[in-house]
């Protein structure tokens, strides 16, 4: 059987942009969770490196010469001193350029899958360094545990302090460039080195949503200017029964609603799919 790795959606529950760094990256602080929905990567031994892309959003990657999955494979091969050989197949279930880390999660899945396929004994810190070479969000996607991330994304503290909950994800069919959203934010230059974030104890869903109410997404306002449909998505999520908080993830345009249980999340998913048949909508538990 081919090796398999899931590439779950990465959700920024909060995202603070502290400033623009001298290396042109932005200094961030974000609370990240992963949802039980996403892309799927499979792979098997082969005489060369190849990638097939299928699934509902495969068309958005058509003609892409150097997919992040292939970049990850080549980097890992170089690090191990071997020629990267594998036949990979990516089932693209998540919208592309949608703020939920699809490409980053795919690359992270490639690292995990090929490490097993090639029987590589790779140090976790070395793998994280390789992941960072592919993209700032790839290191946090190497593990699906909730995490605080800061710096440009390379500083990560995993946490098991979050209560269980459900998410309803909704995207209006709008792709957004992360670079354009950060450009529209026009963050000031970073004045000084920032301390790592501190997450208070969150024993209940109420504790979490109360903390998030005071810790939003700094990219939401500039993203809404570039894609006004985001406002419609947020209002639609807020209007669903039992939605406790609605927010945009990452640089958009995917937004999420938070629900205490599966029943309310599934009901909201069904209502949104009926009212907005042109949107991508998915309910999923927090991993």
Half-sphere exposure of 234 (CA within 13 A, CB side): 17
Tell me how far apart the alpha carbons of residues 59 and 7 are, in angstroms, rounded to a whole number: 18
CA 12 – CA 251 distance, rounded (Å): 9
Q: Which of 39, 106, 137, 218 is catalytic?
A: 137
- Confirm whether 152 is a catalytic residue: no
Question: What's the token pair of residue 106?
Answer: 């795919």
In the set 10, 16, 39, 218, the catalytic residue is 10
* Close Cβ partners of 175 (under 8 Å, ≥ 6 residues apart): 60, 95, 96, 97, 98, 253
Distance, CA of 170 to CA of 239 (rounded, Å): 13
* Main-chain dihedrals φ then ψ at residue 110, nearest 5 degrees: -65, -45
Which residue pairs from 260-264 have beta carbons closer than 8 angstroms and sit at least 24 positions apart in sequence? Answer: 260/165, 260/166, 260/205, 261/166, 262/166, 264/166
Nearest to 208 by CA among 166, 248, 163: 163
CA distances from 150 to 29, 34, 137, 154, 184 (A): 4, 17, 10, 7, 21
Which secondary-structure segment (H or E) carries 73? helix 68-80
Q: How far is CA 205 from CA 186, 211, 213, 245, 260, in A?
A: 34, 10, 12, 11, 7
85 in catalytic set: no
Active site residues: 10, 137
């Amino acid at each position: 059987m081919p090796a398999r790795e899931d590439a779950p959606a990465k959700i920024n529950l909060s995202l603070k942009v502290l400033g623009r760094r001298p290396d042109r990256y932005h200094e961030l602080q974000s609370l990240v969770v992963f949802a039980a929905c996403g892309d799927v990567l499979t792979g098997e031994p082969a005489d060369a490196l190849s990638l097939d892309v299928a699934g509902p959003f495969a068309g958005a990657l058509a003609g892409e010469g150097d997919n992040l999955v292939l970049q990850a494979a080549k980097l890992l091969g170089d690090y191990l001193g071997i020629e990267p050989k594998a036949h990979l197949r990516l089932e693209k279930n998540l919208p592309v350029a949608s703020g939920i880390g699809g490409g980053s999660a795919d690359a992270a899945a490639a690292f995990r899958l090929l490490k097993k396929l090639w029987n590589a004994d790779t140090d976790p810190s070395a793998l994280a360094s390789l992941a960072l070479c592919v993209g700032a969000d790839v290191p946090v996607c190497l593990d699906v545990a909730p995490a605080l991330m800061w710096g440009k994304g390379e500083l990560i503290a995993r946490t098991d302090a979050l209560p269980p909950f459900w998410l309803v994800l909704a995207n209006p069919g709008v792709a957004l460039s992360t670079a354009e959203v950060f450009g529209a934010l026009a963050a000031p230059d970073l004045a000084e080195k920032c301390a790592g974030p501190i997450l208070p104890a969150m024993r209940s869903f109420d504790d979490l949503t109360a903390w998030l109410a005071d810790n939003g997404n700094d990219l939401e306002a500039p993203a809404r200017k570039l894609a006004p449909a985001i406002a419609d998505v947020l209002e639609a999520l807020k209007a669903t029964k039992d939605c406790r908080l609605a927010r945009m993830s990452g640089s958009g345009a995917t937004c999420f609603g938070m629900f205490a249980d599966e029943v309310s999340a599934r009901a909201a998913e069904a209502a949104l799919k009926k009212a907005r048949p042109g949107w991508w909508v998915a309910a999923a538990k927090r991993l």
